Amino acid sequence: MFDLDAVTMATTQRDGSHLLIAEVVATLGLVVVIFGSVRSGRTETIAFAVGGYIAAAYWFTSSTSFANPAVTVARMFSDTFAGISPASVPLFVFMQLIGGALALGLVRVLYPTPQETS
């Protein structure tokens, strides 16, 4: 691990349909967890909720839960088991946008109005 270069382009191809669907699920869940915490007025729990969700989603999604375009681009510069090849990034980001759009609809159904914080 300590013998690796700081920046290397990833070579791990991530292009199977199961990975793309898993990325929609991972992103949808992350957005719902964040907005659920905000809209329920429990903002002090967001960091714990996000950390717990990402840790769990790493294991329950086949895509290892990138769930964020910034994370996807960053993991492109690490040629390890968690990396993603540059050719796979655009489709992953597109699937994250779909997951985010679906999450927006779900948040509006589950949490129609934000709770007042005191």
**Number of C-beta neighbours around residue 105 at 10 A:** 10
Please state, as a whole number, how many other Cβ atoms lie within 10 Å of the Cβ of residue 23: 27
pTM (2 d.p.): 0.86
Angle between helices 17-39 and 89-110 (to 10 degrees): 40
The pLDDT tens digits for 60-74 are 888 888 999 999 999
Express each pLDDT in 75-101 by its tens digit: 999 888 888 999 999 999 999 999 999
d(CA 17, CA 92): 11
Q: Rounded CA gap, 47 and 38, in Å?
A: 11
> For residue 117, what pLDDT is reported?
58
Say how far apart CA 89 and CA 24 lie, in whole Å. Answer: 14
What mean pLDDT value characterizes the chain?
90
Q: How confident is the model at residue 5 (pLDDT cuts 50, 70, 90)?
A: confident
